[in-house]
Structure 1
Amino acid sequence: MHLLHANFTREDESKRTLFLQSLRAAAHEITDEELEVLLESEWRSRLTAAWLIGFDRRDHFRDVLGDLLLASRLCFSGQGYCFALARFGTDEDAQHLAAYLDRYLRRPDCQYDQHWAISALLHIDSRSGSEHAARFLAPGGLWHQWNGAQYSPSPPGRFIYEL
């Protein structure tokens, strides 16, 4: 549950440091086969697998994570997919995030992982000098339309991808 909503960021520094060290060690130790099993399971396992993939920057999982994000079949696991794609940080990752936003920002009835996806896209843009998020954030763009239709609208946030 520390990974859900990046709850570990609310811990005091010593607890957060210990948690991140453990996560980093687990990311190095887990095999691809074990990650594949986790990605075929329920949302907690998928969330954990995606964070481990992102931590170890196993970008060969890029398309799998992008497909899972776009499908959005399980709650909360998309947070991990967005984290991993942001950590990889390439144009290919931005394309997966943009495809997700193109689909789900058109659905004001779906409050899924849009905040995570737009912040991941902003992170990639800030690192690469690209402007993938610009069309979503333009005045009257899809972000503003979707966000304005939410019960509690909020600006796109910046999540932690530099761990």
Structure 2
Amino acid sequence: MRTPRSRDSELPDVIDRYVNPAHQGTRRYLHLLHGNFTHDERSLRAPFLRSLRAAAVDITDEELEILLRGEWRSRLTAAWLIGVDRRTHFRDVLGDLLLESRLCFSGQGYCFALARFGTEEDALHLVAYLDRQLPWPDRQYDQRWAMSALLHIDGGAGTAHATRFLEPGGLWHRWNDAQFAPSPPSRFIDELCASADSPGETAQP
């Protein structure tokens, strides 16, 4: 693991190393956005995931903090790296950032990381977010990601935090029915978490 330098001098380097490295001609954050890497052929997905896991181990906490203060690409990537390496000491930071919902797309990463941690504390962060956002049908933020993450935690822990949202006439259905393209709740984050655990050779980040 590298010894971190001063935060100001580290910023361009940490972005180049972790947010913008290219895989098959596409920068890392674009593979992470919407879980796009899951649509790649296996021969392309495997080396990407090996590189992602190597980066998640290599990056320092200080570098993650730098990325979490940046724009959405940096935050999205940082959250994924935190989730892959299960750095649970970032749990409350990610939960607070999710609740703020200040930048587009970055919430996808927060939801993935919280799902990957998979504890009661993580579920409560997701519940707080859904309680805040679902009453507003005109807000199309990361509600589907948060619900999928909550269903993932419920499935693993045997809890039922999502139940009250999914009851007929509940907050989820009222919000979903008001969307341009309504869709049932999905556990797509199950696949993302499984991908983070899939075996592979080590690779340079």
Q: Does 1:62 align with 2:62?
A: no
The Cα of 1:69 is off from its aligned counterpart by 0.2
Counterpart residue number, 2:3: none
CA distance in 1, matches of 2:101, 2:68: 13
The one-letter code sitting in structure 1 at the alignment partner of 2:193 is Y
Alignment of 1:1-163 (within 5 A): 1-159=30-188, 160-162=192-194, 163=196
- Determine helix, strand or coil for the equivalent of 2:75: helix
**Segments ≥4 residues shifted beyond 2 Å:** none
Choose between structure 1 and 2 for higher RCO, CA contacts under 8 A separated by at least 6 residues.
2
* Bigger Rg, which one: 2
The Cα of 1:157 is off from its aligned counterpart by 1.4
The answer for unaligned runs of 5 or more in structure 2 is 1-29, 197-205
The one-letter code sitting in structure 1 at the alignment partner of 2:44 is K
Q: Calculate percent identity across the aligned residue pairs.
A: 74
The number of equivalent residue pairs is 163
The one-letter code sitting in structure 1 at the alignment partner of 2:164 is R
**Alignment RMSD:** 0.5
CA distance in 2, matches of 1:72, 1:144: 21
Kept after mapping to 2: 8 A contact 1:57/1:88: yes
Please give the per-residue CA displacement for 1:45-67, whole angstroms capped at 9, x wherever unaligned: 00000000000000000000000
CA distance in 1, matches of 2:179, 2:112: 23
The Cα of 1:161 is off from its aligned counterpart by 1.8
Kept after mapping to 2: 8 A contact 1:123/1:161: no
The one-letter code sitting in structure 2 at the alignment partner of 1:50 is A
CA distance in 1, matches of 2:125, 2:67: 21
CA distance in 1, matches of 2:164, 2:187: 18
TM-score normalised by the chain length of structure 2: 0.79
